[in-house]
Amino acid sequence: MIEKGKWEGLYRYHNKVHQELKGVDGTKFEINITETDNENFTGTVQDDLATGGTEGVGEITGRVSGNQLYFVKQMPVRTVFILSNGTRKTYNKKHHPINYTGTFSEDGKTVSGEWRFKFRFSLGGLLLLIFGYANKGTWTMTLAE
């Protein structure tokens, strides 16, 4: 079971080039778990824009099985890094769902794991954008005191 309340975390990209384009070591985020039962939970998530996060407040839905956690993060807008200087482009479309898996620490106050979203194509104006190249990484979060 996951505890209700605020969790603070950090995610990173496996692809070092993509992570370097963001100009930060990792992107901070906050998750607020609002509903939970023995297995399922829901809440909101907000990335820190100063550390390269996606705009807006997103939703999460997930489940817990033993010491394993799985959730889907759905952000309200899509942000893409498209230039070598790290320039971001935000589209007025939902971000692709991001799948998170992780393992709880013994005390249940920290979770660490991997995130990814499926390889896909999308149109960005007149450009064909290919997602999947840098779309996986690691993450960790801790229950805020």
Q: For residue 102, which of 93, 90, 91, 111 has the smallest C-alpha distance?
A: 111
Residue 49: phi and psi, rounded to 5, are: -65, -35
State pTM to two decimals. 0.81
Whole-angstrom Cα distance, residue 74 to residue 37? Answer: 21
Whole-angstrom Cα distance, residue 127 to residue 106? Answer: 47
pLDDT of 115 reads 96
Whether the CB-CB separation of 111 and 104 falls below 8 Å is answered with: yes
pLDDT of 140 reads 98
DSSP classification of residue 109: S
pLDDT confidence tier of residue 118, bands split at 50, 70 and 90:
low
Instruction: Report the amino acid identity of residue 122.
Output: S
Write out pLDDT tens, residues 100-113: 999 999 999 999 99
pLDDT of 87 reads 63
Domains of the chain: 5-143 (2.40.128.120)
* DSSP-assigned letters across all residues of 113-130: EEEE---EEEEETTEEEE
With pLDDT > 90 as the criterion, what percentage of the chain qualifies? 56
